[in-house]
Amino acid sequence: MPESAVKLAARLRAKEISAREVMEDLIPRLEARNRDLNAYVTLCPDQARKQAEEIDNRRAKGEELSPWAGLPIGVKDVICTQGIRTTCSSRMLETFVPPYDATVVRKLKEHGFLIVGKTNMDEFAMGSSTENSAFFTTRNPADLERVPGGSSGGSAAAAAAGIPALTLGSDTGGSIRQPAAFCGCVGLKPTYGRVSRYGLIAFASSLDQIGPFAQTVEDTAMLLGVLAGQDPMDATSIPGPVPDYLAGLHGDIRGTRIGIPGEYFAEGLDPEVRAEIEKGIKTLEGLGCEVVEVNLPHTEYGIAAYYFTCTAEASSNLARYDGVVFGHRANESGDIVEMAAKTRAEGFGAEVKRRIMLGTYVLSSGFYDAYYLKAQRVRTLIKRDFEKAFGKCDLIVTPTTPTTAFKAGEKTSDPLEMYLSDVYTTTINLAGVAGLSVPCGKDSKGLPVGMQIISPVLGEENLLQVAHQFQLAHAC
């Protein structure tokens, strides 16, 4: 297992290494590796070096700093960064430079993290492969011919490749967990409302959540502790204290009840993925966990309910991009209606247009009850499934994805097949619970397999504890 960011931070505090030295080691590796991976849309090495020098100077003066001051991090390009271009990997926002920081970015800066760049993604977070980026396709560090997953593919590829080992992503229906599984790193979607969404450019507001990528669960716990907490700028953020996730990693997990839902081990699951997940479950049993069967009977309706919900919310959220206030504006346009139509035709890619049209359709008169309203009723049933299941167990374990990473171009001609890549992750967002993907092995091609661990609302402390001890015990 690589040196964790937590251990690197300890070396920084002990002055065994300086923040400037960390950056001088990272930046050449990042620039070289990124030429292969295309993980970043925007790099800001000069700004990161300057911030590193400021951290070193403050530490030399004896100032009290955050324990994590000097650690480098990459940020998904859907999260606003003051003075740094934030594009959503879209032509619509290709030149947009936010005048403010997202709450999570403000917290990172307060703790002395060094932002090295903005990571590539599917345009407006709509996709499962990062092939929908308006700029370029990110490659999987495990196999450059394969996709890294999406929509946070750049963040997952960067974390897995260690450039750097900490990144931020966002997850609307699996966009952290699915690429974490494909690339072989850890990715966490927290409980909805555990982390502020202020400054996250919206895709589907009732589903979106910011979360961390890392190479270790230990680093994931540390980063969640930095990000979590109520924010007055986000009315959906949850009040109450934030646990010390890092300190809670080492508790006794014997007797933890692990629920195994049969619905996630049915037709469509690759046999090699299933075999690795079953080995992972055996590891948990060896650690003293108790395995129980649970049912999530409405799982089969999750994809449909998710896509009706997210496209409806996307059609509303993306209505603001009309060329009037900010973002791309079409040239030589006529009246305001023609200008808005040309702007949106030029600025949005094919997948974004597809989802806007689907969302507008399901919200339209005569179809609202049949599609959107019914999807919300199914969403309630899915949420009740999880509540009932968690009455029998403490955590639920499933595969993160039905297959390992597929080759670039393999599914681009069939949007429905691409959507099914998220079949095991969307219900977690619909229910608002927390889910984490942890590396669990490799298939016969050497491609990573991810195991998904799901907790009840605000159950991240137990989730991280079990995932940490699993990662220490399970060689993969």
How far apart CA 203 and CA 359 sit, in angstroms, is: 12
Instruction: Report H helices in 61-124.
Output: 103-110
Helix H or strand E encompassing 213: strand 209-214
Choose, from 18, 76, 189, 411, the residue flagged as catalytic: 76
Is 445 assigned a catalytic role?
Answer: no
Is 4 assigned a catalytic role?
Answer: no
For residue 206, the number of C-alpha atoms closer than 13 Å in the C-beta half-sphere is: 16
How far apart CA 193 and CA 206 sit, in angstroms, is: 10
**CB atoms closer than 10 angstroms to residue 381:** 13
For residue 325, the number of C-alpha atoms closer than 13 Å in the C-beta half-sphere is: 4
Choose, from 89, 90, 129, 151, the residue flagged as catalytic: 151
Please measure the distance between the N-terminal and C-terminal CA atoms of the chain and give it in whole angstroms.
10
DSSP state of 328: -
Cα dist from 473 to 88, 221, 332, 476, whole Å: 38, 18, 63, 10
How far apart CA 197 and CA 237 sit, in angstroms, is: 8
List beta partners, residue 74: 117, 167
For residue 394, the number of C-alpha atoms closer than 13 Å in the C-beta half-sphere is: 18
Cα dist from 351 to 39, 90, 113, 126, 214, whole Å: 20, 11, 34, 7, 28
Specify whether the CB–CB gap between 257 and 294 falls below 8 A.
Answer: no
Choose, from 90, 152, 175, 437, the residue flagged as catalytic: 175
Is 365 assigned a catalytic role?
Answer: no
**Which residues are known catalytic residues?**
76, 151, 175
